[in-house]
Amino acid sequence: MNEHPNATLVRSAYEAMEQGDIEGFAAALDEDIVWHESMPGFEGDYHGRDEALAMLGRIFETTGLELHGISIDHILADDSHAAVLLETTVTLGGRRQTSQYVDVYRLRDGKLAEHWHLPTDQKAEAELFAR
């Protein structure tokens, strides 16, 4: 069975991110994406590709976050939306943690147009990013 094209697009964006291919990741984002971020210390809405990428860069730069892997469990996609059930392993402040998330996207014209980042364990997320 073939994967929905929007699932393939989302999967390729995560693969690019995991490989450190920022250009590849950026290519999946709509120029006018609205990125709703819930990560402690970075909560808020970021408008446009440049602002979303700058926020993601600040997360890594200001926290020292090290990404060790992204494991996608499932991608549920149709013509307008995709939901990604995933697990990431990171190190922050000497603490290694594996966390589960649900990322939801609205897609438009073959690009990621809106993003919501939802940790499944908000308490553990808050503890990891406590400064």
**pTM confidence score:** 0.91
Which segments of the chain are extended strands (E)?
29-37, 44-47, 66-77, 81-92, 95-108, 111-119
Arch. (CATH architecture) of 5-129: Roll (3.10)
pLDDT value of position 1: 65
pLDDT value of position 130: 78
Q: What is the mean pLDDT of each run of 10 residues along the chain (131 residues)?
A: 92 94 96 94 95 94 90 97 96 90 97 96 84 57
Per-domain residue ranges for the chain? 5-129
